[in-house]
Amino acid sequence: MRLVVLADTHVPARARDLPSRVWAAVDEADAVLHAGDWVGPELLRQLTERSRRLIACFGNNDGAEIRAILPEIARVTLDGLRFVIVHETGAAAARDRRLAAAYPEADVIVFGHSHIPWDTTTIRPQDGRPLRLLNPGSPTDRRRQPHPTYLTATIEDQTLLDVELHRLPQPTPVRAR
């Protein structure tokens, strides 16, 4: 199973659209995971129509229209792996322990908010099971990062494989009219 992992797209506030490389990855993916901060509902509509399967949550910059459609926390099992998708996770310090305690059922937690790519695996102190934490960064708003980014991965035999951070060129900024 092929995955595309996105967050913090901020369309149309920070970019007019997703980069073409992201759309090409979406077209190839079996599922798209989006960890919030859509900003406008049009991208949500487009990803819903274009994705084979979209699993998503809302973020702190999403208004009532998006919040009426998406949950604050999305949960899904894909090919035997249990995912939690949530926008905000708090400070980086002790994030792994907090999330392991908050989501004991999860194998993988996808989050956003910081626009900082993150890929770590921690061992849960309570039962010794691994927990993977993934933040794809943002494909449209790099903030203090060197590049806009997104993630792809595959699932095979209930294992997350080939997690790859993709760097994108800086998009043309949206200008006020």
pLDDT computed for residue 144 by the predictor: 84
Predicted confidence (pLDDT) per residue in 30-86, tens digit? 999 999 999 999 999 999 999 999 999 999 999 999 999 999 999 999 999 999 999
Flag whether the pTM goes above 0.75: yes
Do residues 66 and 38 touch, judged by C-beta distance below 8 A?
yes
Domains and their CATH numbers in the chain = 2-167 (3.60.21.10)
Count of CB atoms within 10 A of residue 45's CB?
12
Helix (H) or strand (E) holding 99: helix 95-102
pLDDT computed for residue 155 by the predictor: 98
Cis geometry, peptide bond prior to residue 12 (ω within 30 degrees of 0): yes
